[in-house]
Homo-oligomer: A and B are copies of this chain.
């Protein structure tokens, strides 16, 4: 009858390009990864364009696509996914941003876009921002990790197509928020954002937390930089669309947010940090446990992307080996469909996302085993799955779980 449950392991930024220092291999090809290779030998491999061939995906749109949600329809900006990821309550129609606490000088220039990577006191600062009043709309602020936070603007006649105020570089003045289309709604949102930014400067400048930081010689968090404007509208969940009762094991806020957006339960796993220091094994064990009461578990590892963005092939190879080790025993999950893939490539030579396709392997009951010998970009490209797109994955997965409904008769 095939598998009745599935585990999807996404290794962020896993794909790479040939690296001279690795003899023309990629970190994945060069790594010792007996567990991944065994999945390939017992499974079917292929390559996947998360969005479409050559398209460089951000992690948000890529994950949406992999979960079966067309990013051209469902992705507005990153704010909403960060909001959901930190557990903020949002409502249909909310305009949601992420923001940074930042340090400004007296002339309004940004001295540090992350306010000295402030770690403590942001809850109090966010509370103080709650004093900002803009007639006609409700404002909701929430602190995130370190210098990060979320802002939702709630009200009618609001548009989400507005620009960031973040100048992306220290030493520059913050940019005014501008409408990016010609609607009255976006113009109004931009005006509101600019008022929020101005009032935030006044409130934060004289806040005791910042007085204390300055007294200690630390950079004050005396302003905010706003970005990632987005619009929230709840879509049909994975349960409704594919019959999948999902659980998410991830460290990073964005991934939890996308998982929540598509209706998964986001599990809080101790030691899951989304950094090099994450508890790889603890996350895998939490994912295996989650299979008890979910038929779909999404397990996300961020570290390969970090190593790619650091431009460090040996670090990337090392974290791949650590992930492989962390999933030891995965072959014992005999009734489970295992899928391993990535949300995009992050070639070490580029230190950023590329549009290269990613390898994918499916292993488990019902899969047509294709004789692929290992799990890497080269072997996968000759696999029996061929070249698919991110949006193809959930239908294939649901079909292998015998959950797909028939098209016509």
Contact = CB atoms under 8 A, between A and B. Distances in A.
Interface of A: 1-2, 17-18, 24, 26, 44, 47, 51-61, 71, 75, 77-78, 228, 347, 349-350, 352-356, 366-371, 377-378, 381-388, 392, 394-399, 402, 404-409
B54 A399 contact: yes
B53 A353 contact: no
A368 to B, nearest CB: 6
A391 to B, nearest CB: 9
B387 A53 contact: no
Contacts of A17: 2, 366-368
Give the interface SS of chain A, mostly helix, strand, loop or mixed.
Answer: loop
Given A395-B53, A409-B78, A384 B378 contact: yes
Oligomer copy total: 2
A355 B397 CA distance: 10
A21 to B, nearest CB: 14
Contact of A404 (B77, B355, B367, B406): B355
B381 A370 contact: yes
A409 B59 contact: yes
Given A24-B369, A366-B18, A402-B350, A355 B408 contact: no
A408 B77 CA distance: 7
A73 to B, nearest CB: 13
B354 A399 contact: yes
Contacts of A383: 381
Contacts of A59: 409
Contact of A406 (B47, B353, B402): B353
A394 B52 CA distance: 12
Given A388-B387, A407-B55, A368 B381 contact: yes
A397 B57 CA distance: 16
